[in-house]
Structure 1
Amino acid sequence: MCAHVLVAEDDVKQAEVLRRYLEADGHSTVVVHDGRSALDHARRQPPDLLVLDVMMPQLDGLNVCRILRQESDLLVLMLTARADEADLLLGLDLGADDYLTKPYSPRELMARVRTLLRRVRPAATGATAVRRVGPLRIDPSRHEVSVDGRPIDCTPGEFAILAAMAEQPDRVFTRAQLLEHTSGFDRNSTDRTIDVHVMNLRRKIEADPRRPAHLVTVYGIGYKLTEGAG
């Protein structure tokens, strides 16, 4: 699966290692070393995936992610040296689809890249059929979600969760299972990663996010997608 990947990393040596691994995997790769260049290139030639370092000159990765997420639904994989959970959750809340904390191995990053691209580009196996769950309509081939006919903007990670759950309505998914459908198993903060995506989805699809009728918590286990009462 070849893709156009933009790498925004201010560490020149690290960026070159990532470029070599990505190109060896068949992806066309562009490298920039500051946030402003990342933003300009992403607007000029939108990538399929942005590998985005958080700590960069001119404009940090969190602001780049925030700005681009308002303009597009491109995939964002964040790289961060920050181990604080609040910083990681902020990145996810801004729309990042996955993150890696430094130091990491390039092989681990490539596994995340492959999983992200695979999850948001469904194979021709029948998984592209439109799914309806109550007022929700999920169209994997068009990457579209609507509620009672009203279009909903979803990040790739949010969409992957809805698409996976819509395949089996009323099935209870654990957080680890949902993470496998979005960006692979993350040993750093699996539960909170999914919780942030679910919180954002509820804001978008529920009439009252505080009392969800469709994306429901099953306490002690995980979440399920249901048609709702009545």
Structure 2
Amino acid sequence: MTRPLVTILDDEPEIRSLLADVLEEAGFDTLSFGRARAFEAALATHTPDVCLVDLSLPDTDGLTLVHRLALERGAIVIIISGRAQVQDRVTGLELGADDYIIKPFDPAEVVARIRARMRSVKPATKTGNVATFNGWTAHFERYTLEDEAGTETTFSHAEGEVLRLFLDAPKRLISRAQMQSSLGGVASESFDRAMDVRISRLRTKLREDPKNPQLIKTIYGAGYIFLGDVTWI
């Protein structure tokens, strides 16, 4: 069985070595990089399952890289950073990161977070990886939403997780607890905030009126419900 590949991008050699050792012992393959340029060059020949990314990189802005990874690669992106401010965490999640781990960290927690995120990446429960609904087509194999005119808008891996959850259970209430259980998160204020951010971004990409969305409805105090007519291809 192929071992999942985790890439580690951090300019501190000790952290790269620590993470590589604990991850390989836990059953993952790893590739480590101290510079974003070398990391991005490696993506031409390697397809990581998970990208661990430090924000304080010497040759690029880590947040810009996170956003590009989330939109273009479809990989699970986990930020590992010494930036502990709430705004840094919110910005990272808004740009498409799946999780945010603050330094110093317990290596066992990193392994647990990776496994939790990978458990949430499940194969389609319906036939195929394409769903149509209300004039839209969601292509999960290439992370795009296509409208009736054929115009495509990309969505991140994290946004795709939430969208698939809705499309797998249309017209049924999905509570915060169900989201946390299905997506492998930890019940917390930051998890709730991450869900709010992802749903807001999905609404924008689906061109919903933020004051009166027609597809993704908020049921205050209970959760969300997706009102589209969904067909899996």
Q: TM-score, normalised by structure 2?
A: 0.82
Moved more, 63-72 or 158-167: 63-72
Q: CA deviation at 1:166?
A: 1.5
Check whether the contact 1:161–1:181 (CA below 8 A) recurs between aligned residues: no
The 10-residue stretch of structure 1 (131-140 or 85-94) with the greater mean CA deviation from structure 2: 131-140
Conserved 8 A contact 1:122-1:140 = no
- The aligned counterpart of 1:135 is 135
Deviations 1:22-48 (A, max 9, x none): 222332211112333333333453422
Contact 1:38 1:64 in 2 (8 A): no
8 A contact 1:51–1:76 mirrored in 2: yes
Q: For this pair of structures, how many residues does the alignment match?
A: 227
Shift of the 54–177 alpha-carbon distance from structure 1 to 2, 3 Å rule, reads farther
Which residue pairs with 2:31 in the alignment? 30
Instruction: Give the structure 1 partner of residue 63 of structure 2.
Output: 62
Mean CA deviation greater in 154-163 or 10-19: 10-19
Could you tell me how far apart the structure 2 residues matched to 1:213 and 1:142 are? Answer: 25
**1:17 CA drift (Å):** 1.9
SS in structure 2 of the partner of residue 99 of structure 1: strand
Q: Which residue of 2 aligns with 1:160?
A: 161
**Aligned in 2, Cα 1:82/1:222: closer, same or farther, shift over 3 Å?**
farther
- Find the aligned partners of 2:104 and 2:188 in 1 and give their Cα distance: 14
Contact 2:51 2:77 in 1 (8 A): yes
Deviation at 1:144, TM superposition (A): 5.4
1:204 is aligned to 205
Cα distance in structure 2, aligned partners of 1:85 and 1:176: 23
Code of the aligned partner of 2:12: D
Paired residues for 1:105-184 under 5 Å: 105-122=106-123, 131-138=131-138, 145-148=145-148, 150-184=151-185
CA distance in 2, matches of 1:151, 1:54: 29
- Distance in structure 2 (CA, Å) of the matches to 1:205 and 1:176: 25
Matched-pair contact (CA < 8 Å) for 1:176–1:191: no
Classify the secondary structure of the residue corresponding to 2:224: strand
Give structure 2 stretches of 5+ with no counterpart.
none
Residue 195 of structure 1: how far off its partner (Å)? 0.8
Q: Choose 172-181 or 93-102, whichever is displaced more.
A: 172-181
The separation in 2 between residues aligned to 1:121 and 1:85, in whole angstroms, is 30
Structure 1 match to 2:98: 97
Q: Distance in 1 between matches of 2:129 and 2:74?
A: 21
Q: Are residues 1:218 and 2:208 paired?
A: no
Q: For the structure 1 residues 118 and 147, does the alpha-carbon distance in structure 2 shift closer, same or farther, using more than 3 Å as the test?
A: farther
Distance 2:99 2:127 in 1: 23
Tell me which residue corresponds to 1:41.
42
Change beyond 3 A, Cα 1:171–1:104 = farther
Could you say what secondary structure the match of 2:163 adopts? helix
Partner of 1:192: 193
Q: 1:118 and 1:213 mapped to 2: Cα distance?
A: 30
- The one-letter code sitting in structure 2 at the alignment partner of 1:106 is P
1:19 CA drift (Å): 0.8
Letter in 2 for 1:93: E
Q: Residues of 2 paired with 1:83 and 1:97: CA distance?
A: 16
CA distance in 2 between counterparts of 1:57 and 1:188 reads 32
Letter in 2 for 1:134: N
Give % identity: 30
TM-score, with length taken from structure 1: 0.83
> Is the partner of 1:68 in helix, strand or coil?
helix
Higher normalized contact order (CA 8 Å, seq sep 6+, divided by chain length):
2
The runs of at least 4 consecutive aligned structure 1 residues that moved more than 6 Å come to none
Q: Give how far 1:156 is off.
A: 1.1
| d(CA) in 1 for partners of 2:116, 2:128 | 17
**Residue 77 (structure 1) aligns with:** 78
- Superposition RMSD on alpha carbons, in Å? 2.8
**Alpha-carbon deviations, 1:130-173, whole Å to 9, x = none?**
54443344455675544446544221111111111212112222
In structure 1, list runs of 5 or more residues that go unmatched. Answer: none
